[in-house]
Amino acid sequence: MQNSLLDTIEEAIEEIRQGKIVIVVDDEDRENEGDMICAAESITPEIVNFMVTQGRGLICVSLPERRCQELDLPLMVSNNTASYKTAFTISVDLKGDDCGTGISVHDRARTIRALADPTTRPAQLGRPGHIFPLIAQAGGVLNRPGHTEAALDLALLAGFSPAGVLVEVLSADGSMARLPELRQLADRFALKVVSIKDLIAYRRSEY
């Protein structure tokens, strides 16, 4: 039975396909948070600014392990002791292409697009930087029910290259926004809200 606070995965895929943001929530017994997600190929300075002002979390880019290897992006630490083993690589900024310090929304949008561009080479990326690549597990949410994998899965399902943008959504007081508040935020900005649980079910139904 569909949760009344949630939209369907089909609706979310169509939103991503149109270059829009969706909010993805995980289970209460996991991180119990919502992330704004879009395809990296469709990122714009305006979307980055929206993520900064309305999401308030850390902007990351989900990539396959092979792509991170091609871009010479090693893991941030060799011994990951974080609770959910999120696979952060070293952070990056795009060098050149009219980029400044890397922190402006225009610079961050260019860096994100560069990470999604298969022609980008390691020498074009400065390390460290202001965008945080994450290595998604092969198999996506079917192997790890995390936002990292959900971002990549949704980008692929929408027909984009395997690169997704994600940012945690915080409340105005800095605490984590939970589902009722996320639904209110989504309604205010006409965004869809879906769950990783439903994305897993959708992926399984494909087979």
Q: Is 147 annotated as a binding residue?
A: yes
Q: Is 102 annotated as a binding residue?
A: no
Cα–Cα dist 179/84, whole Å: 20
With H, G, I as helix, E, B as strand and everything else as coil, classify residue 131. strand
Q: Is 118 annotated as a binding residue?
A: no
Q: Is 148 annotated as a binding residue?
A: yes
Q: Is 26 annotated as a binding residue?
A: no
DSSP state at residue 122: G
Q: Is 41 annotated as a binding residue?
A: no
Q: Is 144 annotated as a binding residue?
A: yes
Q: Do strands 125-136 and 60-64 pair parallel, antiparallel, or not at all (unpaired)?
A: parallel
Q: Is 145 annotated as a binding residue?
A: yes
Burial (CB count <10 Å: 0-12, 13-18, 19+), residue 160? buried
Tokens 């871009």 locate to: 71
CA 197 to chain centre: 17
DSSP state at residue 115: H
Pull the structure tokens for residue 205.
């139904």
Binding residues, as ranges, are 30-31, 35, 144-148
Binding residues for D-ribulose 5-phosphate, as ranges, are 30-31, 35, 144-148
Binding residues for Mg(2+), as ranges, are 31, 147
